[in-house]
Structure 1
Amino acid sequence: MAKNKFDSLSNDTLKELRGTGHHLSPIIMVGGHGLSPTLIEETARALNDHELIKIKIPAGSADERKACANALAEATESTVIHHIGRMVLLFRKNNTPNEKLSNLVRFGF
């Protein structure tokens, strides 16, 4: 089986993903109800479609925001690529991406 750049995320790959994520708008916004089952399900669907997504999380301390991002990543079996302020970038590779929806395909990965 051939290895690809996503088998293990090197610093260069992380840098490329952060650069791609910079151009994205948040498509999931965590509200006052926190990480509800519906929000987790919708995030998983978005990761399946787009592979790389930006999420806006609620205000709070840096530790609370980081915990929220990590909990969402764990619930959706994804990886936190970057978080700054209230924005979080999540990644989950789809082995059969939809070329019309995948942010990785759209940005030339």
Structure 2
Amino acid sequence: MTTATLSEKQRKYLRGLGHGRDPIVMIGQSGLSAGVTRELDLALDTHELVKVRARVGDREQRDAIFAQLTAQTGSSMVQRIGNVALLYRRHKEKPKIILPAD
């Protein structure tokens, strides 16, 4: 199963897990860089579920940055609230988060 095909039940489960987490990756006014993408990639390898905060311009700019991050890291956006997105990518060999069946 690819992370792009999360069911609503799985998204709800991941939202519950991510609720108490703090953002690990921060994107400032300078926008998205290769270093930020690399850092997110490492965080997803370690945690599978990561909050990202983007403090940039308007909503369209934030949405574009989040879309670019998900494409570059192969992750799925579980949810976005304001300037914070919750991203998920299953670990290839040893998943820590076991998703509920559809």
TM-score normalised per structure 1: 0.79
Bigger relative CO (Cα 8 Å, ≥ 6 apart):
2
RMSD: 2.2
Q: Quick check: 1:41 aligned with 2:32?
A: no
Identity %: 33
CA distance in 2, matches of 1:61, 1:42: 23
Structure 2 unmatched runs, 5+: none
Matched with 1:79 is: 76
Structure 1 unmatched runs, 5+: none
Amino acid at match of 1:57: A
Name the structure 2 match of 1:94. Answer: 91
Aligned residues: 99
- 2:67: which partner in 1? 70
SS class of match (2:55)? coil
Deviation at 1:91, TM superposition (A): 0.6
Q: Which amino acid aligns with 2:31?
A: G
Alpha-carbon distance, 1:75 to partner? 1.2
- What is the TM-score when the length of structure 2 is the normalising length? 0.84
